[in-house]
Amino acid sequence: MRSRRPLRRIALVLSAMALVASCGGSDDGAATAEGPKAQRVPLHLEGVADEVEFGSPVQLSVPGGQIDSVEVAPEGGEPVAGDVVDDGSSWQSSGDLQPGGAYSVTVVASDRLGQEHTFTDAFAVGAVPDANRLTLSMQPADGSVVGVGAPVTIRFDQEVTERENVEQALQVSSNPQVEGSWHWVSATEVHFRPREYWPSGTQVRVDLALNGVQAGDDLWGGRSYDLDFAVGKAQVATVDAATHTMTVTVDGQPAGTWATSLGAPEFATRNGTYIVLEKFETRQMTSCNANITCDPNNPEYYDLEVPNSVRLTWSGTFVHSASWSEGSQGSENVSHGCINLSDANGAAYFRLAQYGDVLTVTNSTRGPEDLVERGDPGMADWNLTWDQYVAGSALGEPVTTAALG
């Protein structure tokens, strides 16, 4: 992958002992075709600066010589690509140098008499400047245990325009291995999910080898990242808006069937598959924050401390205890879009819920399309067909996770 920054030449002038024609005698007195004798003339050696600016190519030259081979490589790493240029006495790198890396240089060149000379040197590469460094956050948390629907979520602090470059640097390993795909929700967010839910007990490792990867114009990865997480029990909930029930299974075994009340017709809860995002023992909920009304005189106004609140979308869909609607739970949908449970059942679900658990709503009157379009993390991953999800990959194809040793 070549740097797209304007090239700034950094010369490494290498010189050494070379044979040139002379009227005087040489150390060994040998005659040559260029004159009666040849004399060894010492030439000085110049090296690169201690540090080379990241994003700039390296140019090496042996004035008066012909370069036979060049190796510029980090310790234990692959040599940097490059080409002999000009009259054969210069070489210029074409591959990217790792920011913060230390490189050794070995050049073999021939003099005018065909004798080979070997030169060595070394240099360091500067870090990506802060203003040009790609930064990010990841979810799940390192070392966490998650639900079977949990995606790997990477949120960038800058817009990524070179998505293929970045996606090629992202690797997911797991035991057992699964088929999955990356999917760009936006220019600043990319997700990975398996084709089917993660098998319970799966161990997952994510490696982001972004150090030195070009992510956009004057935007580069400045370091690599990794995280490990485990998939816990398969905790799956199904909510039926027609029968007003919520059924929960754990690893395929029934864990509860509870009466519920969903959104009233004008605030219908969306059909579709959600994942649990976070939970709060209590959560302040207001109609003003929900963009319903800020007028205390409006009959739809509310301002409540809500217990056992489990978030399903950033737009404001929760499962929670709602003592005020217990008379309607199991028979009528009366909420402002949340999934209401009794105090006891809400507490039971709250204790179970973990990031990435799956909940599917059926038989409501509203679809998930608006939240999928907006990339709401609660609904962005499991409400697309597999083909649609893969189409969101910059590389345009699914992958099989690498084996996790």
Catalytic positions: 320, 338
| Alpha-helix residue ranges (DSSP H) falling in 77-212 | 163-168
Strands 179-186 and 145-146 turn out to be unpaired
Q: Where are the beta strands (DSSP E) in 86-231?
A: 90-93, 102-110, 116-125, 133-134, 136-139, 145-146, 152-156, 170-175, 179-186, 189-194, 203-208, 214-216, 219-221, 225-231
Nearest residue to 280 via CA among 261, 304, 306: 306
- In angstroms, rounded to a whole number, what is the distance separating the alpha carbons of residues 141 and 225? 12
- In angstroms, rounded to a whole number, what is the distance separating the alpha carbons of residues 402 and 224? 18
- In angstroms, rounded to a whole number, what is the distance separating the alpha carbons of residues 345 and 237? 13
- Please name every residue paired with 177 in a beta bridge, in sequence order, or none if there are none: none
Amino acid at 264: A
Nearest residue to 310 via CA among 298, 299, 319: 319
- Three-state DSSP at 109 gives strand
- In angstroms, rounded to a whole number, what is the distance separating the alpha carbons of residues 56 and 265? 61
Nearest residue to 48 via CA among 129, 98, 120, 127: 120
Strands 136-139 and 152-156 turn out to be antiparallel
- Asked if residues 321 and 308 have their Cβ atoms less than 8 Å apart, the reply is yes
DSSP line for 246-308: EEEEETTEEEEEEE-B-B-GGGPPBPEEEE--EEEEEEEEETTTTTS---TTSTT--EEEEEE
